Structure 1
Amino acid sequence: MANSAGSRKRARQAEKRRKHNASLRSMVRTYFKKVLKAISSGDKAAAQEAFKTAQPLLDSAVNKGIFSKNKVARTKSRLNAKIKAMA
């Protein structure tokens, strides 16, 4: 356990940040699942709408350092490809 006042504060900050990041990560994954659910239901319009909602959230997660840039780019590309294949 941290001994000095500064290291105790650092531990508190790290825990607070960890919880916040976990919350953001969970939220983004939920929106990702909503897109997949719309795709599996076969409703192209709903899938596109869900993707349009999820896209900025994925991008903002990258800017906040929650996910890597390449992971999000790959995820968006795969989702978009699945939506286009629904034709």
Structure 2
Amino acid sequence: MANTSQSQKRARQADARFEINKARRSRIRTYLRKVEEAIASGDAEVAKAALIEVQPELARGVSKGVLHKNTASRKMSRLASRVKSLTA
């Protein structure tokens, strides 16, 4: 347990940030799952629309510090190539 008032406050802040970041990660994963499901179903139009929706969510995750920049970039690249292969 935290001893000083400052460390107690930091512990409270850490708990609050954890909850916020958990919600953000969950939201990002939901959008990623929508793209994955659209790709699995083979519907190129739905997959393309879902890909457009997930892009700002990934960027927001990077700007908020939930995801590393390269991780988001890698996910976007791989999803985009898979969606592109549906239309080809």
What's the TM-score, normalizing by structure 1? Answer: 0.97
Q: Residue 59 of structure 2 aligns to which amino acid in structure 1? A: D
* Matched residue, 1:18: 18
Fraction of identical pairs, as percent: 45
* Matched residue, 1:2: 2
1:6-85 mapped onto 2 (5 Å cutoff): 6-85=6-85
Point out where structure 1 has 5 or more consecutive residues left out of the alignment.
none
Q: How many residues align?
A: 87
Post-superposition, which runs of at least 4 consecutive aligned residues in structure 1 deviate over 6 A?
Answer: none
- How far residue 74 of structure 1 moved from its aligned partner, in angstroms, is 0.5
- Distance in 2 between residues matched to 1:73 and 1:4, nearest whole Å: 41
Q: Residue 31 of structure 2 aligns to which amino acid in structure 1? A: Y
What's the TM-score, normalizing by structure 2? Answer: 0.96
Point out where structure 2 has 5 or more consecutive residues left out of the alignment.
none
